[in-house]
Structure 1
Amino acid sequence: MKTKPILELQDIKKIAAAAEAEAIANKWAVSISIVDDGGHLLWLQRLDGAAPLSAHIAPAKARTSALGQRETKIYEDMINNGRYAFLTAPIDGALEGGVPIVVDGVFVGAVGVSGVKSAEDVQIAKAGIAALGL
């Protein structure tokens, strides 16, 4: 049997606080979602002024990133580059803004952000993950 790291509540709170701080520092109204390696929701917060739809999109991005073990930008790029058949894949978050959390080469979850430009969503997600000091 192998032993693997898992996200604990204190990790989730660190990620969420750092992501929220990044969003607020830039005056970005977003929803922030954190999931475990199985795509199960561990955290969801919608900042003041964030569109209601962002609270649905952020978890979808996080779930897709966790289950695919990659940034969701890869899926969006595939579709934008003409691989339209990928639209039939059983995922609902193929938009940039989902970033996996990797600890010692092990995928332990992901952060999904929605509400601003895609690159800004990623910036917020990565700021949250950076708080873990990996």
Structure 2
Amino acid sequence: MISALAAAALALTVQTDAPRLNADSTLAIIEGCKAYAEENELAVAIAVLDDRLKMAGYLRMDGVRQGPADLAVKKAEYVASWGHETKVLAEAVGEGRLGWAMTTGGPSVEGGVPVYSDGVLLGSVGVSGAPAVEDAKCARAGIEKAGLRDSR
């Protein structure tokens, strides 16, 4: 019994010591993406999710309609679930691999980017409202401002 409790306590310690997306890094991601959007005269919605698909932060810039606002969240959900950016899915669709796109249910446009630290997936950023390539650049600008990475 005691060894089972010790093992459970150790497991909790390991889980809480894992890198996590925190409030400061979430805010930095949003600020970096927003700055990129403003510099390029874009209006976007920015969704930041943690590795458990929970919303860490969200910003809908003025003028962004509901469709792109919802798509930003969908992009982030896909990336947090699968661990790779939505560009991979967009390329699969472009190559005619529609079955994979239909199976995953993910958005097949750029703008969903993973957030990594020390090789660990912390979460994701979904951006929508600009052309898809710009959405992805915006997400990367935010990740860079937070001092994090978009790949392992």
Larger Rg: 1 or 2?
2
User: C-alpha separation between the residues in 2 aligned to 1:24 and 1:48?
Assistant: 11
How far apart are 1:54 and its partner, in Å? 1.0
| C-alpha RMSD over aligned residues | 1.3
- Range 57-66 or range 90-99, more displaced: 90-99
Normalization by structure 1: what TM-score?
Answer: 0.93
Hey, what does 1:9 align to over in structure 2? 23
Picking from 66, 74, 88, the partner of 1:60 is 74
Hey, what does 2:5 align to over in structure 1? none
What one-letter code is carried by the residue in structure 2 that aligns with 1:117? P
What one-letter code is carried by the residue in structure 2 that aligns with 1:54? P
User: C-alpha separation between the residues in 2 aligned to 1:40 and 1:93?
Assistant: 18
Query: Unaligned stretches of 5+ in structure 2?
Result: 1-10
Hey, what does 1:24 align to over in structure 2? 38
Q: Indicate yes or no: 2:87 matched with 1:77.
A: no
Aligned pairs, number = 134
Normalization by structure 2: what TM-score?
Answer: 0.83
Structure 1 outlier segments of 4+, above 6 Å: none
User: C-alpha separation between the residues in 2 aligned to 1:86 and 1:107?
Assistant: 22
What one-letter code is carried by the residue in structure 2 that aligns with 1:40? K
1:29 partner SS: coil
Q: Indicate yes or no: 2:50 matched with 1:36.
A: yes
Q: Indicate yes or no: 2:117 matched with 1:124.
A: no
The structure where helix makes up a greater share of residues is 2
Q: Percent identity?
A: 34
Query: Unaligned stretches of 5+ in structure 1?
Result: none
